[in-house]
Amino acid sequence: MALIELTDVVGGYGGAPILNGVNIAIEQSDIGVIVGPNGAGKSTTLKAIFGLLKVHSGSIVYDGRTVTNWLPDRLVPVGLSFVPQEKNVFTSMSVEENLEMGAFIRKDDFSATLASIYDMFPPLKDKRRQPAGELSGGQRQMVAMGRALMSQPKLLMLDEPSAGLSPRYVGEIFEQIVKVNQAGVGILMVEQNARQALAFASKGFVLAGGKNSFTGTGRQLLDDPDVARSFLGG
């Protein structure tokens, strides 16, 4: 059974729908990457899963239960976590406080998780008392991912984690995403660096005009001449 399965999801912010029938299925062992041209509804798909916009029809089933139009405060406790593309840290709060906010829904002792985040992103440990707003773009992205992992999710969704990062950090962030996946967290991410991301993706979804145009393994998408021509720049 899929960890999360979207079936013919149609939705938008009111007015004309942006998603016109998206189908996505991810196992907990998968890294799913959504690629496609601007305005294809990639980020919107993640937001629809996370209850940030209205789903008009279709269904979203997570871990055996229908979670269509659930709000984040119900989704986070059952194991979903989301890293938005922009404004994804609390700039006035310290790095450690940012991570604590990720563990807000937890009632148990989360110090072990905190330690594992610092192991994963060593630069954060030195800066844990520093306001997150003073960090560099790459380190902010680490804080954002760390915050999302503090709730010990089963599915981590990332909206363009490499946007605006220097090539050095892009590689580092992708490496960490693969590591998180190996630790047993399903990944569903939207990525502009399509070629690079599809190389390590186990599933790839090409969206265009708010619906799937290609679905396959990352390898299949990279090798498909049509996909290559239309979305990956030849």
Partner 1 sequence: MTELIFFINQVVISGVVLGSIYALGAIGVTLIFGILRFAHFAHGDMMTMGAFIAFLLAMGCAALGIVTPIPTGFLVLPLAMAIAAVIALGIDKGFYAPLRKRGARPVTLLIASIGVTLMIQGLIRLFFGAGSWSFFDYGETKTIMRIDTSAIGSTRPLVFTEPQLLMVIVTIVAVVALHLFLTRSKFGKAMRAMADNADLAQVSGINTQLVVRITWLIAGALACAAGTMLALDVSLKPDLAFNIVLPIFAAAIVGGLGQSYGAIAGGFLIGFAETLAVFNWTVVLRPLAGLLPEGMMLPANLALVPTEYKLTVAFVILVVTLLVRPTGIFKGASS
Interacting residues toward partner 1 by CB under 8 A: 50, 52, 71-73, 75-77, 82, 84, 87-93, 97, 100-102, 104-105, 147, 151
Q: Which two tokens stand for residue 101?
A: 């906010």
Q: Which is nearer to partner 1, 111 or 225 (CB)?
A: 111
Shortest Cβ 57–partner 1 spacing (Å) = 23
Q: Which is nearer to partner 1, 157 or 194 (CB)?
A: 157
Q: Which is nearer to partner 1, 1 or 86 (CB)?
A: 86
Would strands 31-35 and 19-26 be described as parallel, antiparallel, or unpaired? unpaired
Of the candidates 51, 158, 147, the residue with the CA atom closest to the CA atom of residue 90: 147
Q: Which is nearer to partner 1, 90 or 200 (CB)?
A: 90
Identity at 234, one-letter amino acid code: G
Query: E strand or H helix at 58, and its extent?
Result: strand 54-62
CB atoms within 10 A of CB 233: 8
Shortest Cβ 76–partner 1 spacing (Å) = 3
Shortest Cβ 8–partner 1 spacing (Å) = 25
CA distance 78 to 155: 10
Shortest Cβ 178–partner 1 spacing (Å) = 23
Q: Which two tokens stand for residue 181?
A: 């996946």
Q: Which two tokens stand for residue 89?
A: 């840290």
Shortest Cβ 113–partner 1 spacing (Å) = 14
Shortest Cβ 89–partner 1 spacing (Å) = 7
Q: Which is nearer to partner 1, 101 or 222 (CB)?
A: 101
Q: Secondary structure of 149-198 in the HEC alphabet?
A: HCCCCCEEEEECCCCCCCHHHHHHHHHHHHHHHHCCCEEEEECCCHHHHH
Q: Which is nearer to partner 1, 75 or 207 (CB)?
A: 75
Query: E strand or H helix at 219, and its extent?
Result: helix 218-223
